[in-house]
Amino acid sequence: MCGRARCTLRADDIPRACHRTVANTRFLHTDRYRPSYNVSPGFNLPVLRREDASDGEGYALHCMKWGLIPSFTKKTDKPDHYKMFNARAESIDEKASFRRLIPKNRCLVAVEGFYEWKKDGSRKQPYYIHFKDGRPLVFAALYDSWQNSEGEILCTFTIVTTSSSSALQWLHDRMPVILGDKDSTDVWLGSSASSYKNVLKPYEESDLVWYPVTPGMGKPSFDGPECIKEIQLKTEGNTSISKFFSRKGAESEPIKQEQKISSHELIKTEPPTDLREEAKTEEGENDLKSRGCPHYQDATKVPIKRDYDTFSADSKPALANNDQVRENPVKKKEKGKTADDKQPTLFSFFGKR
């Protein structure tokens, strides 16, 4: 498929690009031609064709609209240039719109490059395809003329496409028929009824290159050198989510290194000074234990037994006034304990009674 192209060539450069001389070329309606970096169906482009009464030596550079309107189209119909802007090489000798044009209506279209889109789900990324040395690409094409209800004659053309080359299959399954040398252009413009099929094949040479361009050129109104400016595609590793996890991984490295220390080294490690000082009193011990401080546990390694009822009473949330329940006398006595008292046990409780 070929639906966008760059054609900023001067009109008088196109015959030479098609391996023809300007001397024996007639120019028709070239004042309608407007060079553009983003040509789409409906645009006027110079097309090189044989002269109607020529034996093969005379040519015309005729400005035509891209998007074929067959001559048998009703005069009252509105032209739709997007309907036949391409013609499949495999079926041009079968479809009536193209078959009758093969004998005398073959032509050449010269551009500097064309665009193709790579589909990635709902996203489409355009690529600019051109020759490495910058020379123009010459496409095989067919043209026709149609007269509307007002008597105006409109000349239009379609670009012939074929299956994609092995190098471009990753991008698209179709590509324009590129005539890479003078011999192939001679064959296509010649009068032979069968030899033209020999040039309707993918262009497999390595001098055809490509690179990604801005998706903004997808709009036909987007024009200028920005259309062919190469851009850097964001790789999967450069997405914001990937960056987030990369940072998290980098921050967690010191933690992972600490985890490599053996259990013996952790036991030998002394807690911070402020924790050792705080642990000197029983009140500090209870405070550290309630917070679950790992340094304290590693430093002492001495488990402290607590009465289950005491622990449950400390962990229960406060009740509303109307929901208060009778408290256990054991708990009341424990609440009366000061911070300076030692941790009570069941034996000490029964002993005092």
Count of beta carbons in the 10 Å neighbourhood of residue 97:
19
Instruction: Exactly one of 7, 112, 116, 334 is catalytic; name it.
Output: 116
**Among this protein's residues, is 90 annotated catalytic?**
no
Of 33, 56, 168, the closest CA to residue 109 belongs to: 33
Query: Token pair for residue 268?
Result: 């030998």
Of 54, 60, 142, 67, the closest CA to residue 100 belongs to: 142
Instruction: Exactly one of 2, 18, 63, 227 is catalytic; name it.
Output: 2
Q: How far apart are CA 195 and CA 188, in angstroms?
A: 8
Of 123, 143, 2, 5, the closest CA to residue 61 belongs to: 143
CA torsion angle for 256, 259, 261, 267 (degrees, to 10)? 150
At 5, is the secondary structure helix, strand, or coil?
strand
Is residue 188 within a helix (H) or strand (E), and if so which, with residue range?
Answer: helix 182-189
How far from chain centre, in Å, is Cα 303? 60
Query: Token pair for residue 184?
Result: 């192939």
Q: How far apart are CA 211 and CA 276, in angstroms?
A: 66
Question: For the CA atoms of the chain, what is the radius of gyration?
Answer: 42
**Among this protein's residues, is 116 annotated catalytic?**
yes
At 302, is the secondary structure helix, strand, or coil?
coil
Backbone φ and ψ of 329, nearest 5°: -60, -30
**For residue 137, what are the β-bridge partners?**
111
Of 319, 333, 327, 283, the closest CA to residue 304 belongs to: 283
Point out the residues that are catalytic: 2, 116
